Structure 1
Amino acid sequence: MKAADFQIDSGAKGAVLRLSGDWTTAGLRRTPEKLNRALDGVQVDRLDIGDLDGFDTAGALVLVQATGKALPASAWKSRPEAGRIYALVEKLERGTAPPPKRPDAITRIFARIGHGFYDVMAEIMLSMVFLGQLILAVGSAAKHPGRIRWAAWVSHVERAGLDAIPIVIATNFFIGAVIAFIGADLLQQFGAQVFAVELIGISVFREFAVVITAVLLAGRSSSAFAAEIGSMKMNQEVDAMRVMGVDPFQALVIPRLAALLIMLPLLTFIAVLAGMLGGLLVSWSQLNLGPAFFIQRIEQNVGIQHLWVGLSKAPVFAIVVAAIGCRQGMAVSGDVESLGRRVTAAVVQAIFAIIFLDAVFALIFLEMGV
């Protein structure tokens, strides 16, 4: 196989491009670069293909790009098959639109900001729509209690609440122990280690028990709600419910909401006991504060009002966690990628909402002096 080659002859009637060798993918090699340099500023008027051996679309594309214009059909009379290949490539190359110009960096930054703002506002709008549908469904359930699916309620109470007890106990036990270690280490420097009991009691009662429990349920139950309802949306089971006259909110959302509304306060109380147990054991081992003394200090100096402050947050956190999980599940489209995005969004939004609402509660209780 002879490599592709060319020669440019200048005459009275204009430049003649003489092709020789194999103008195919295998025979071109470095010919395209040489041809582009040779034809820089040269206008080809005629083509000589008497010594041309092979010709394919790669060779045709090199000619089209190098000459910058369509060669006449008469140039290919001796090789009509090569002329047809050249005409096809030349037509496709001429009809190909140039790539769109990429916007500058500042435009891209503002475009991302605009898209992000639009997505946030759309998410808020859809959440408001979901909230309105949820309120109507709750009102309908309260008006017609005979339609309540008690079996679904009990099932979700077990799965979302009772099955979460071990992880809630373990996590809050270690949280209480960590608070006790920090308090013992800091307060011993000032000879005030006895106040570690108050630190443990107030922090566990008011904040850590309810917040940690809600965050655990956000990662455990909110994601499960989004995945379960989302998979039903993907399989068109939710649409089938509507066709059969079953309200998806009554069948899917209300039981999950009720389950968390019932179980989160109970789990919070269990978390309080686990956290106090962890703090008690560390205080006993590190500060020599016995269980009787620990309980007495909690009763006298902490009081039950801090426990009620923590428990009052639990129903709000339960509604938020369940509603966000179900709302993201209902928003799943027909592909697995959408399901993954919505499950992730359910966990992230639920945790963010818990932290935000906890800060709001802190401000409210501060103004109330509680």
Structure 2
Amino acid sequence: MSLTLRPHIAGMPPYRAGRSPKPGPDGRAWKVSSNENPYGPLPGVLEAVARSLEEMNRYPDAGNTEMTSALATRHGLDEERLAFGTGSVEVLAHLLEATCGPGDEVVYAWRSFEAYPLAVQVLGARSVQVPLTATGEHDLDAMRAAITPRTRAVMVCTPNNPTGPAIPHDDLVTFLESVPDDILVIVDEAYVEYVNDPCATRGLELLDVHPGVVSLRTFSKAYGLAALRVGWMAAADTEIARAVRSVTMPFAISSPAQVAVLASLEAEPELIGRVRVTIHERDRIAEELRRLGHRIPATQGNFVWFPAGELTHVWFDAFREAGLMTRAFAGEGLRVSIAEPDANDRILEVAGTLLR
């Protein structure tokens, strides 16, 4: 090929999506590799989407007007602080695009969300990965020490994907107060709806702590709109949100996706009920796994983390043979999503055999 690719793009691996499962011995299979919501759309969503399809010959609202108004009202925010994208990962990419370039540094904990190093690499920037603690938590002191004059952004994931712990709110406030004002701080709260620890980070409150803070959220998880791809952000500085809106492709979010968001927001009582069920199952599974002897970190997401180390591939195969497709991180561990009760019971059955 005569075309020359940019050096940091050539050979760059694609994002690795969760794989589909194969049936176990009883013919049943569950995908617990992608932290998806196991339940269908909330009441009213399918009807709203169907109505929107009648006008698929028209472009969607490029300004996301109704979504912006609805979220601003719900959270008491200035509309100019908000921006949207096709999933929170796209909003993240646009935030980095607006602030980072070749040679700049981005600090984040590791292991964390797999898209982080890819989003940094595509810009020619450099990842500065700070190891998690032994309990799968962010080491905020080490992250602060990793900030240099070349640092343009810091990313924190709370609850952390894939390990599960949420960052205590007061600890993150103290951290932010020590971060220079000219650094973007992205607080990735993709799983915020599942958080029930009163001491955990409250991202929208951080907008008053540091001028570069952004709270990043999604409708893919608790709201069950993963296939429609809608993420959003709220920024401390309206200029940050304006920059993201400027680099986002026009008409990025489809009309069906926009109306699905609005209908989902109207179904808040049903959402709360479903989230409570998932939290109950998460806590039940984590408690039972610890009783079995597994070192499961405290989790505030819709998943649990098995720190399997060198046994990761062996445990992955054990789950797979039982009809459960998990997410494996070679040499580190497995992330297992909370699913339907039958799947969760199967997870416990398999987990009970792994330490024998």
Query: Fold match, TM over 0.5?
Result: no
- Point out the structure with the larger helix share: 1
Q: Which structure has the greater CA radius of gyration?
A: 1
The structure whose RCO (Cα within 8 Å, separation 6+) is larger is: 2
TM-score by length of 1: 0.20
TM-score by length of 2: 0.20
